[in-house]
Amino acid sequence: MSQKVAIGADHRGFPIKETLKTFLQSTGHNIKDVGTLSADSVDYPEFAEKVARSVSTRESSRGILICGSGIGMSITANKFPGVRAALCHDMHTAKMSRRHNDANVLVIGETIGAERAREMLKVWFETPFEGGRHQKRIDLIGEIEKKNFKETA
């Protein structure tokens, strides 16, 4: 099923972003590339914000972020309502992020390499959310998010 996917990376993740973008396009997805557009040094929060905002506002159904370690991108993306960004390192974490957490943003560190990243992305897109007892947990996350938004507003 074709989806609109926002994808972004910093300079370290740029080469993998280009590989994943090509792969996603070849499988029929509509891609929103928010940058970066080269390997020149940039600040990762700018690109994490663009992808997370696109998912949070439902402009995109899913998002992909790539940087050096993936940690900063994850922290930034998870500041947005409705975003469940998961930093994944292998097929198991990619699968479980979807199956149990209904992750809508996949975050990858560039150290895993382009081929492994492509394989993880394929697993991530093919794995459905189980629902059931996991839906209750996703709902609890949403309640915490709403509560914290009200407290800080």
- What gap in Å lies between CA 36 and CA 132, rounded to an integer? 38
Backbone angles phi, psi at 79, to 5 degrees: -80, -10
- What gap in Å lies between CA 53 and CA 75, rounded to an integer? 14
Which of 11, 29, 67, 88 is the catalytic position? 67
Dig out the tokens for 62 from the structure. Answer: 């899913």
Which of 11, 29, 92, 100 is the catalytic position? 100
88 is catalytic: no
Helix (H, G, I), strand (E, B) or coil at 146: helix
State which amino acid sits at residue 135: Q
Backbone angles phi, psi at 8, to 5 degrees: -150, 155
Q: Provide the CA 116 distance to its chain's centre, in angstroms.
A: 16
89 is catalytic: no
Q: Angle, to 10 degrees, between the axis of helix 14-26 and the axis of helix 114-126?
A: 40
- Which residues have a catalytic role annotated? 67, 100
